[in-house]
Structure 1
Amino acid sequence: MINSKNELVKIEILTEKKEWNEFLQSVDDYGFYHTYDYHQISKSESDKAVLIKYTNNDIFIGLPLLIRKINGSDFYDAISVYGYSGPIGSKTPLNFNTSNYEQTLLDFFNKKKIVSVFVRLNPYLTFQNILFSNLGESSYFGKLSYLGKIVNINISKPLEIQKRDYQRRLKTHVNKANRLLTLKIAETKEDFQKFKTLYYENMKRINAKDLYFFSDDYFESFNSSKDFKTEVLLAIDNETKKVVSSCMFIKTNTMVQYHLSGSDEKFLHLNGTKFLIDQMRIKATKEGYKNFNLGGGLGANENDSLFRFKSSFSDEYHPFFVWKLITNKEIYEALCKKNKVHDKESSFFPLYRLNE
């Protein structure tokens, strides 16, 4: 379409791998959470993975989402994949007017009967906050919400400077682990099976929800994807020769992402996970990567043990935001009423899915 200011504005829905990847190659930066393969890995059988491409003359913005049918209704909602996703695109001028993008996106959601949208933003792509700063402000629940900090190790710094920023207790643990453990890069089926076994044991130990007990297909999809590089590292106890810890890391462009890990409960005192993160830090630095994203706490909580563990590696933090939008207040509230959900004080979104 062409708007009143003679700007050529267009919305395209990309669903095929070839066109999705071509778009990724045309943007300034993206992470593995934006890739076609990760969306296919993350979606349920009934979800539809789309990349909403907005073009305005020489400016283009892509928003990847999973579109979901709302059970028992004729409506849909949209959510980003788990992780750090959000919009990506070409460089936008400092004076870029977001109003056209906002209206075009809102029109699309309404046309497709999408009642609500939930997007996890990428803390490394600051322009995302600008795009969403006004979008939906006049709606019932359209806003940016700060959830907490994520921890980054700046691996563009010299290795000795990186380690200097470790907390003192962590340095002691890593130095001890370097004497007691040996690094192995997973290569065989047996290596990957050991990683999965330790990961599942870890999830049982912390009473994780069922959704975190990923299938074999999930793990195999990571290993086979060409959209990003998956590396699994194993820590082997020098005395018993047993694999005591394992971690999965994902590499894309200049970023390394700490994704999943697990440890043998009998060997937690060897600090295998700390050892493996430190080993990946060294490896990725030598390979030329720039950032090592460790993520945040459980539910982005800055006060839990997981965040304290990660922040012992670095005091460089990035703010993590999510964007929540209700496009149709009347239908949203009707769905909440139908599903017998009335707690408007709850932070769960969309609220009508609270009891699913």
Structure 2
Amino acid sequence: MLIENNASGTTLQLTLTQKDDWVKYISLAADYDFYHTWHYHAMASNGRPILFVYCEANNFIAIPLLERAIQDTPYYDLHCVYGYSGPISNLKFSDTSERLKRNFLKAFSAFLYKGSYVSVFSRLHPFFDQNILLQETDSIYENGKTVVINLQQSIEEQRKQYRQTTRDSIKKCRKFGYVSVETTAQEDIAAFTKLYQSNMNRISAADFYLFTEEYFTKLVRAKEFDCKLILVYSNDDLVCGSIIMCTNGIIQGHLIATNAHYLKNSPAKFLVDEISELGRKWKMKYYHLGGGLGYKEDSLLEWKLGFSNMVLDYYSWRFIANKAVYNQLVEKSGNQIHTNADFFPLYRMIPQ
């Protein structure tokens, strides 16, 4: 743990070896999701996890990130875990003083300079108003929309929002006798892994998304957050399944997979409806379905809009800490600074 004191407050840089401190700060946050937890960061394989914390009086602002070396340079950059993370605080950002926000950004900038960090990328959480903290950096990007089912309304009101095609698919699955089960059995985790990997291979997904049985087992068995594996069966056939996370009233539809032989029946629609019912039993308030592929307005987003008219704006934070070095790295990569490509940092993009 690196600790620095200045006139305003104290800066901490936690790594995975400071598990108790990491867990403590997350648990004290007014808003957080499983994406912020020590356990989820401990599973990351694409960077060295750190939790930057700025403390002042009895308040703090923190942000978890993954550090990566920039090849053939003395520099590094920071990005986030897969999912929605961004900064957290023991205060709602709407209740945070201008002084605390300003001093956090100042301390974070000093941390970036000292650590030779060129850029920072973080997906922001659609529920947490993190823009209030970061807007002064002029580095917030609109990335599209995400879809949410409001579980605080009645199930009847919820289903009235379904498109007719969504309603028909769910009805058909019930007619076929599909059933959903929550499970932690190892053979079920193995079966879901096989189904998920076959889905990823079918769509030629990047290697990053080919999660293993060990990965799913660690999620399901984690103590720091509430992960659930929900599977849908037709007799003895595994039809589809989803890994979901339940944190502070929000269900995150983390990953979903469908048996190719059953795609024509749209069993994933039935699964979403079933999870929304279970969510009410678990006292959840929202079921966050997410957005389109790469957060574009595509067929996946349209599929999710078939369930709900509650839509949230989704943003990412793309901060350049060292513009001169950033521009040099982009030029060296063969890319153009003023490209329209939705990619950050540009020096990591493979030139088209």
> Is the CA contact (8 Å cut-off) linking 1:147 and 1:322 kept in structure 2?
yes
State the TM-score, normalized to the length of structure 1: 0.91
Task: Determine whether 1:122 maps to 2:125.
Answer: yes
> Is the CA contact (8 Å cut-off) linking 2:66 and 2:80 kept in structure 1?
yes
State the shift of 1:94 in Å.
5.8
Aligned match of 2:65: 65
Deviates more, 1:312-321 or 1:188-197: 188-197
> Is the CA contact (8 Å cut-off) linking 1:246 and 1:272 kept in structure 2?
no
> Is the CA contact (8 Å cut-off) linking 1:248 and 1:261 kept in structure 2?
yes
Aligned match of 2:48: 48
Counterpart amino acid of residue 177 in structure 1: C
The C-alpha deviation readout for 1:163-191, integer Å capped at 9, x for no partner, is 22212221121122122111222332221
Aligned match of 1:189: 186
Aligned match of 2:250: 255
In the alignment, structure 1 segments of 5+ residues that lack a partner are 138-142
State the TM-score, normalized to the length of structure 2: 0.92
Aligned match of 2:328: 334
- In structure 1, C-alpha distance between the alignment counterparts of 2:207 and 2:80, rounded to whole Å: 20
- In structure 1, C-alpha distance between the alignment counterparts of 2:193 and 2:323, rounded to whole Å: 43
**What RMSD in Å do the two structures reach over aligned CA positions?**
1.7
Aligned match of 1:140: none
State the shift of 1:344 in Å.
3.0
Task: Determine whether 1:213 maps to 2:216.
Answer: no
In the alignment, structure 2 segments of 5+ residues that lack a partner are none
Q: For residue 245 of structure 2, give the secondary structure of its aligned residue in structure 1.
A: strand
Counterpart amino acid of residue 58 in structure 2: D
State the shift of 1:52 in Å.
0.7
Structure 1 residue corresponding to 2:220, chosen from 219, 223, 231: 223
Aligned match of 2:143: 147
> Is the CA contact (8 Å cut-off) linking 2:193 and 2:212 kept in structure 1?
no
Percent same amino acid among aligned pairs?
Answer: 33
- In structure 2, C-alpha distance between the alignment counterparts of 1:120 and 1:109, rounded to whole Å: 18
- In structure 2, C-alpha distance between the alignment counterparts of 1:254 and 1:262, rounded to whole Å: 24
State the shift of 1:208 in Å.
1.4
Q: For residue 42 of structure 1, give the secondary structure of its aligned residue in structure 2.
A: coil
Q: For residue 50 of structure 2, give the secondary structure of its aligned residue in structure 1.
A: strand
State the shift of 1:330 in Å.
1.4
Q: For residue 325 of structure 1, give the secondary structure of its aligned residue in structure 2.
A: strand
State the shift of 1:111 in Å.
0.8
Counterpart amino acid of residue 79 in structure 1: H
Structure 2 residue corresponding to 1:280, chosen from 275, 289, 292: 275
Q: For residue 128 of structure 2, give the secondary structure of its aligned residue in structure 1.
A: coil
- In structure 2, C-alpha distance between the alignment counterparts of 1:94 and 1:69, rounded to whole Å: 33
> Is the CA contact (8 Å cut-off) linking 2:241 and 2:256 kept in structure 1?
yes
> Is the CA contact (8 Å cut-off) linking 2:186 and 2:217 kept in structure 1?
no
Counterpart amino acid of residue 222 in structure 1: L
Task: Determine whether 1:27 maps to 2:23.
Answer: no
- In structure 2, C-alpha distance between the alignment counterparts of 1:43 and 1:319, rounded to whole Å: 28
> Is the CA contact (8 Å cut-off) linking 1:67 and 1:79 kept in structure 2?
yes
Counterpart amino acid of residue 269 in structure 1: K
- In structure 2, C-alpha distance between the alignment counterparts of 1:153 and 1:35, rounded to whole Å: 24
The C-alpha deviation readout for 1:111-141, integer Å capped at 9, x for no partner, is 1110111111000001x10111012x4xxxx
- In structure 2, C-alpha distance between the alignment counterparts of 1:43 and 1:253, rounded to whole Å: 26
Task: Determine whether 1:289 maps to 2:297.
Answer: no
- In structure 2, C-alpha distance between the alignment counterparts of 1:117 and 1:94, rounded to whole Å: 22
Structure 1 residue corresponding to 2:110, chosen from 107, 111, 114: 107
